[in-house]
Amino acid sequence: MAELLQKVRVIDPVSKIDELFDVLIADGFIKEVASHIADIHPDTQIRDCQGLVLGPGLVDLYSHSGEPGFEERETLLSLLKSAAAGGFTRVSILPDTSPAIDNPALVAQLQQKRAEDNLSPLLPCSPAPLLHIWGAITLDVAGKQMTELADLASAGVVGFSDGKPFENLALVRRVLEYLQPLGKPVAFWPSDRQLTANGVMREGVNALRFGLPPIPASAETTAIAAMLELVAAIGTPVHIMRVSTSRSVELIASAKAAGLPITASTTWMHLLLDTKAVKSYHTSLHLDPPLGNPSDVVALRAGVRTGVIDAIAIDHTPYSYEEKVQAFAEAPPGAIGLELALPLLWQYLVETEEFTALELWRALSASPAECLGQKVSAILPHQPAELTLFDPQQTWKVERKSLYTLSQNTPWLGQQLKGHVVQTWC
């Protein structure tokens, strides 16, 4: 059935458009975009979209699935439902499952599971997002042996990442050399675990005030510097994950200015919160890397706006209630976010006019797609309808019954939010 969205605010970072249009969608394609569409088929469903936002479907660079191995945290089906409810039409899962995604058979198994789940409706108005799978770089926990990267590439992984800090630089060098002809993205999380030690909070005055073991910014920046040296020497493009410090933004800006083939991402929570939030000792604020100091947040936001930091990742990390109900330092790090990121980023960055709507939507759609070696379509006639319809004013309460994810590890649990996804097309 054809759908006509009347007077919808079209935010298209591909065409750099932020204007009111009528948009006609039929048979999975955008049929027409115009200031007014009058000539329509009698069976067309007409929707008044004044006050609503239509943009390309959101793309998540990396998140965690509980399945296989930790289905009590998240199943593949619940993850896809959560992603669809949050406006994502593509979601990419890291390989740190149990067993790890380090062989073609498991990639095929997850792809088959995704196909089977798609047979049943996920949400009333939204189809299942596309599932992308990161293949593991290393086989063993110690990270000393490479997986069969070529076999995984042939199996259809979106790219390669362990989703954990690299510690063996000699192996990283070999990986970069081996991956050059495969043409797949590779993502590394730079973090020196010796400098991190037992820390749980970014080093600074608030870490002293709250009595929590600190993590120096150099734990991240020294690892980024080493990574950049390897990229400069070998030339293989690299994605730098989970950037969280102001100095890291400077290093990446300098490397890009020098022509190094790198992209970078930070996570949505690192853009919204700083170390002051840890005053509550809410275990969902225990993240790795930790929340930055106020100066870090300022630099990260500026980095996203200018494109030094290419993309905003969600890094959705579900944990059960029992796992998170511990002392702050003892709880596993991570928080959910697929259903929360767009409303909160819009509320605190766009409505405050710190970001334009185009800047935010670019960092959540077109740019993460580019980091994966993909593209999103412009909102133009004859293009595929991979879209997200968002109501910035709709209010809802974050609680168990309003979330599709199986986990509730978020500091916003129980709070009223403004902004809700209405529908996606995929």
Residue 353's CB is within 10 A of a number of other CB atoms, namely: 7
The answer to whether residue 15 is domain-embedded is no
Question: What pLDDT is attached to residue 115?
Answer: 83
Question: What pLDDT is attached to residue 40?
Answer: 83
The answer to whether residue 367 is domain-embedded is yes
Q: Which residues contact 203 (CB under 8 A, 6 or more apart)?
A: 214, 215, 216, 217
Low-confidence ranges of the chain (pLDDT < 70): 118-125, 140-143
Single-letter amino acid, residue 287: L
Closest of 94, 252, 89, 103 to residue 159, by C-alpha: 94
Q: What residues form DSSP beta bridges with 91?
A: 60, 131
Residue 116's CB is within 10 A of a number of other CB atoms, namely: 11
The answer to whether residue 249 is domain-embedded is yes
Q: Which two tokens stand for residue 385?
A: 């309808």
The answer to whether residue 272 is domain-embedded is yes
Residue 277 · residue 26 · CB < 8 Å: no
Report pLDDT digits (tens) over 326-336. 999 999 999 99
Q: Are strands 416-425 and 387-397 parallel, antiparallel or unpaired?
A: antiparallel
Tell me the chain's radius of gyration from C-alpha atoms: 21
Single-letter amino acid, residue 111: Q
Residue 54 · residue 11 · CB < 8 Å: yes
The answer to whether residue 387 is domain-embedded is no
- Domain total for the chain? 1
Q: Which of 12, 162, 315, 391 is catalytic?
A: 315
The answer to whether residue 66 is domain-embedded is yes
Asked about 48 being catalytic, the answer comes back as no
Distances (CA, A) of 203 to 189, 216, 247, 287, 333: 19, 5, 14, 14, 17
The answer to whether residue 46 is domain-embedded is no
The answer to whether residue 11 is domain-embedded is no
For 270, the domain range is 57-373+394-417
Can you give the CATH number for the domain in which 231 is found? Answer: 3.20.20.140
